[in-house]
Every structure is written in structure tokens, then in C-alpha cells.
Amino acid sequence: MISTRNRVRRGFYADSVALMRIARDLGAGPGVLQASLMIGSASNKALFAESGLLAMEGRAARPDDLVIAVKAKSAAQAEAALDRAEKLLLPGSIASGAEEKFPTVAGFGSAMEAMPDATLALISVPGEFAALEARRALERGLHVMVFSDNVPLADEVALKKLAAQRGLLLMGPDCGTTLIAGTPIAFANAVPRGDVGIIAASGTGLQEVSCLLARDGRGVSHGIGVGGRDLSQAVGGRMTLAALDALEADAATKHIIVISKPPAPSVAAKIVARAARSGKPVVLCLLGAEKMKLPSNVTLVRTLEEAAGFTGGGSFSKILPVILKSKGKHISIRGLFCGGSLCAEAQIVLMDHGLKVASNAPVPGARGSVNCKSGAPHKLIDLGADEFTRGRPHPMIEPALRNEHLGRALLEKGVGAILLDVVIGYGAHRDPAGLIGNVLEKKFMGRKPVVIASVTGTEADPQVYSRQVKTLRAAGVIVAASNAAAARLAALAAGGRR
């Protein structure tokens, strides 16, 4: 009989990435149907209830408590999973992400005592508490990366005003990727140092561009994440402008790339005006933005691939006939993405080929981008969107959610091509390609659409780029050199204009 159990750790805090890793580990255990670990705030308890994971113990949790929630096939299996979670939460546990080289501290003050020379604070507490911790760090003169999401917009504006006044960077909130002086932070890849500085309101956008540069023999000086709302009207691009100043002053940076979805017009004008004053060439990758008047040192591109100066082609003439021979033209495309910016880039490429595309995350300002409910023949889904990640790990950490959608897409009538992004690197699942292969090896009523993918990663990543590519190809997946190249293959296979 299915059993839902909660266990509460009073006054306990753990990094949110660590909690997602533990949830992934528990989810793979015997008989476990679902697992999640979150603080006991009212909003999180509502998410537990919505997911069918809230039990009596969890209802009584306080906002500073940690709730471990498990749904399993039996009470014994649920209890075993809860016991395992307790062990994984112990300091030094490999699964919790803790490493012995970092000291265990009780709070911000003791952290500063343990590392008095620190210049950067990583804030990864629940959104309800992130602004307070970020302000404390800024007031101590530290640059701040806010990994936390669900931080109120008013708090973000106030924090970024404070950071600008003090000449500091406030990266985030909801900043998932940063590369500082060769050090990858959160979801990032092992890329070489080089002379390209990247400013990104997009985590997977920064990952894709940095990896394409790396595979093209180039490197990154710094990759500064600014958070997805930084170029909104309310925030005004404050940290994008500050990051431009920082990279302008950095002797190791010779080229600058700015990545974002189209910003508010007034903010775009500010960014262009600041870039015009730069003594370094600036590439603006504003996904799907229409043409605008620019100074000679500034270039506007529509895709991440163009931003990296990477063609990603070369294999079309060999691969495309295989697709067309097996499927024919005018097929429907289903795109299942872990990365929001990779999903947006694929939308742009498909629309540039004349296809009508719907998505749960339409590209703001991009002509022809519509919501999933529109009935367009081609549909792309960002599975990292909040609607899919409430109460469960992001699909980059736990790809099971994407695999569920993949299984359904393989059976969907009329679908002839499936687009996938495979994102590897620090923080990502240890073998996402292997999990995709497990789904594809199953029998699907005698039909199997063409599956086209790209891998965002490098040879130096823990999962190893070439191994992931080899695994995908062994499963029958056509692997393109970039996310945009994969989308072009799908577009041409579906009868899009060349």
C-alpha cells in the first residue's frame, strides 16, 4: 500500500543544491515513487500538498525547519528512504555535496571568521531569507551570487542599488551559473581560461556559449550571471551595466558577450549606450531580438551559436537525407528541454525556417512565438520552468521528468522528430545520455521518431562530452554540434524553408 511519510529536522539548514541531490538519490531507492526536501514555509507546504507529499509531521513544520517528504510503495520503504536522507544530511556526506576542504560553520559570522579573505558570498538559502543574507554580505564588502529563487522583485531592486553604490556585483537572484577567474560555480562547465568575458541573464545560455567557445579552442575570462530579471524595466539592467564596467576594466578580457532574452526597450538603450563607450568589441545576444541601430563596436546576434561565432554545421548534407528518407517532410516536432535559453534558441531557429512553434515559455518580443495552447504543429517545452519543478529537482539534476515526457512523445501520433538538449557539467546528472538511451531502447508500438540532440559540455566535465555523445549515438540519436544546429536539422526535416 502506498505510504507518504514526512520527517522534520528542527532548525536545520542545508544548501538547496545539496537537497536536490539528496532528493534525486532517494528517488532512485527501492520502492520510492517521489521524494523532496524543502524548508517548512507556508508556500513549500502548499507545494508538498499539491504533490501529494504532505503528511501530519510536515504540516506542523516551522519556516526554519527542514521537511523530508517521501512517497513509497510501502511504509517500510518510505521509512528506509527517510533514514537514508538523515545519513546523507550529515556533514561530509558525498551525496550532500559537502567537501572536507570547506569548513563547517553555523552562520554568516562564523563563515567570515573561517574565511576572512573571502571576496564572494554564495547565497543558496530559501528565497524567503535570501535578501537578508545577501544584504549582510554586501554590507561586509563581498560580491554576492544569489542562487536562490523566489526572491521578491522589490528586494532584488534594493539589493542591486546597494551593490551598485558599493561598487560590488549582485549576481542573481536565481543565478544558476557563474565562472569567476576560471572557477565554475553552481551549474557550470569546465572551460579553459581565455579572453572572452560573458554577461548572462541566462544560466544555460552562459553554459552553451562557454562550451562552444571551449570546443572551438577558445576560453573564458569570467562568466557573470546577472539573473533573469536584471534587464527588466523594474531592475533596469543595473548588474549588466556593472558587469560591463568590470569586464571593461579587466585586462584579461578582450571581447565581451551579453546574453539575454530581449530586454525592455529603455533598458536595451542603456546597454547599447554603455557598450558603445567600451574600448572592447561587444556582442549582444538578445535571443530573438529584431534589428536595431548599433555603434560600430557592437554586434547584435539572435542565437547563442552566433554569439560564440560557431557554425555548428558541416554535417547536414550527410545527416539530413537519413532523416528525410525515414520520415519524409511535414512532420511535427516535439522539443523537450532542460535549459530555458536552449528552448528559446530552438524556437528562434525553427521560426527562422518558417515554422509555427508553440512553447510554454514563448520568447518575449520574438515575432511568431506563441503559447503552447495555440495549437501550433510544433511544440517545445521548457521542463525547467517553475510549473514542472515545484517540489521536485530540476531536470538537469534529475532527468526522470524529461524521460516521462520523452516516452509520451515517442508514442504521439504525427510526431516525427524529437529535439533534446543534454546539459552536463558540475551539478548536473552523472549520465543524462544513458538515461535517454534507457528510454529509447524500449519498444514503442513499432514506431520511433527521429531523435536529434546536442550536448552542452566539454571533455573536462565530469560526464565527459565525447562519452555522452557516444552514448547518444549508440542509442540511435542524431547528435548535432550545437543546440542551434540540432534545431536546424529538425526544421529542415519538418519541411521548413532552407
pLDDT digits (tens, 9 = 90+) for 27-42: 889 999 989 998 898 8
Q: What is the mean pLDDT of residues 258-274?
A: 92
Q: Which of 258, 281, 307 corresponds to the end of one domain? A: 307
State the pLDDT at residue 11. Answer: 86
Task: Examine residue 173 and say whether the peptide bond preceding it is cis (omega within 30 degrees of 0).
Answer: yes
Q: Are residues 252 and 391 in the same domain?
A: no
Does residue 93 form part of some domain?
no
Q: Which of 58, 88, 118 corresponds to the end of one domain? A: 88
Residue 341's closest CA among 359, 325, 367?
359
Does residue 78 form part of some domain?
yes
pLDDT digits (tens, 9 = 90+) for 372-406: 555 678 999 999 887 887 667 788 988 888 988 99
Entry pTM: 0.86
Q: What is the mean pLDDT of residues 250-267?
A: 93
Residue linked to cell 544569489? 146
Torsion of CA 110, 114, 118, 124, to 10 degrees: -50
Q: Are residues 296 and 178 in the same domain?
A: yes
Pair 257, 209: CB distance under 8 Å: yes
Kind plus residue range of the DSSP H or E element containing 214: helix 203-215
State the pLDDT at residue 389. Answer: 77
Q: What is the mean pLDDT of residues 352-374?
A: 72
State the pLDDT at residue 311. Answer: 54
Q: Are residues 361 and 484 in the same domain?
A: yes
Q: Are residues 284 and 321 in the same domain?
A: no
Does residue 445 form part of some domain?
yes
Does residue 37 form part of some domain?
yes
pLDDT digits (tens, 9 = 90+) for 187-214: 999 999 999 999 999 899 999 999 999 9
Q: Are residues 326 and 280 in the same domain?
A: no
State the pLDDT at residue 314. Answer: 42
- What span, in angstroms and rounded, lies between the C-alpha atoms of 14 and 411? 40
Least confident of 11-15, 33-37, 47-51, 193-197: 11-15
Q: What is the mean pLDDT of residues 46-54?
A: 88
- What span, in angstroms and rounded, lies between the C-alpha atoms of 47 and 24? 17
pLDDT digits (tens, 9 = 90+) for 138-182: 999 999 999 988 899 999 999 999 999 999 999 999 999 999 998
Q: Are residues 63 and 182 in the same domain?
A: no
State the pLDDT at residue 445. Answer: 53
The whole domain housing 49 covers 3-88
Number of domains into which the chain is organized: 3
Question: Is residue 96 over pLDDT 50?
Answer: no
State the pLDDT at residue 312. Answer: 54
- What span, in angstroms and rounded, lies between the C-alpha atoms of 340 and 208? 12
- What span, in angstroms and rounded, lies between the C-alpha atoms of 393 and 1? 25
Does residue 484 form part of some domain?
yes
Q: Are residues 136 and 257 in the same domain?
A: yes
- What span, in angstroms and rounded, lies between the C-alpha atoms of 333 and 420? 11
Q: Are residues 403 and 340 in the same domain?
A: yes
Pair 486, 496: CB distance under 8 Å: no
State the pLDDT at residue 18. Answer: 79
Q: Which of 275, 307, 339 corresponds to the end of one domain? A: 307
State the pLDDT at residue 386. Answer: 77
Q: Are residues 278 and 334 in the same domain?
A: no
Does residue 35 form part of some domain?
yes
Question: Is residue 320 over pLDDT 80?
Answer: no
Least confident of 379-393, 407-421, 455-469: 379-393
pLDDT digits (tens, 9 = 90+) for 322-349: 555 544 456 899 999 999 999 999 999 9
Band (pLDDT 50/70/90 cuts) for residue 63 is confident
Least confident of 67-71, 309-313, 490-494: 309-313
Band (pLDDT 50/70/90 cuts) for residue 87 is very high
State the pLDDT at residue 443. Answer: 63
Question: Is residue 245 over pLDDT 80?
Answer: yes
* pLDDT > 90 fraction of the chain, expressed in percent and rounded: 63
Question: Is residue 89 over pLDDT 80?
Answer: yes
State the pLDDT at residue 113. Answer: 82
Q: Are residues 56 and 176 in the same domain?
A: no
- Type of residue found at 234: A
Question: Is residue 97 over pLDDT 90?
Answer: no
Does residue 182 form part of some domain?
yes
Q: What is the CATH number of the domain that holds 43?
A: 3.30.1360
Q: What is the CATH number of the domain that holds 333?
A: 3.40.50.261
Does residue 67 form part of some domain?
yes
CA angle 339, 342, 346 (to 5 degrees): 140
Q: Are residues 49 and 190 in the same domain?
A: no
Mean predicted lDDT score pLDDT of the chain? 87
Q: Are residues 55 and 142 in the same domain?
A: no
pLDDT digits (tens, 9 = 90+) for 424-459: 999 899 999 999 999 998 766 556 789 999 999 999
pLDDT digits (tens, 9 = 90+) for 110-120: 788 888 889 99
Q: What is the mean pLDDT of residues 256-280?
A: 93
- What span, in angstroms and rounded, lies between the C-alpha atoms of 323 and 162? 54
Question: Is residue 98 over pLDDT 60?
Answer: no
Residue linked to cell 527542514? 66
